Structure 1
């Protein structure tokens, strides 16, 4: 039996530095005034001649946002998922590993 591989995400300090083929998951709590939530989005992206326009989701639970990002990664051929944190202590290690770009 093999152990399930932990997800690995790249941490960005600036969402503007994301590449066009990366899904951006932004995690925030409105400076401690609200529950931890996330949005996911991306810039325009093309794969095999199919264009995926830019988009951003509504606020959702972080786990739901990460799961949706994984599905989009597979479906549209994005290169990776990147994370933007409102502040560093929002990350829960249960979600996976973070590496700084």
Structure 2
């Protein structure tokens, strides 16, 4: 399992519109091969700051399967115009502790 983590900064005054667009976009991401789950967290200290966490079965499910799909274009059209600056996407894997 891979965890995609993205810190998002939404343009001032567009937070409500963004959250509604993200609800629509959630249906897109949830339909993709290798998708496990996702959540969007709103920062309490900084208005317009969000944390997106998406769990994928493999890195390629995100970087190839989703990013190179027609559905990604719909996701991009719904969400990317809200971001300033454009976010950096990072991927993490769990370290077994026991």
Instruction: Specify which structure has the higher proportion of helix.
Output: 2
**Same fold (TM > 0.5):** no
What is the TM-score of this pair, normalised by structure 2?
A: 0.30
Higher RCO by CA contacts (8 Å cutoff, separation 6 or greater)? 2
What is the TM-score of this pair, normalised by structure 1?
A: 0.29
Instruction: Specify which structure has the higher proportion of strand.
Output: 1
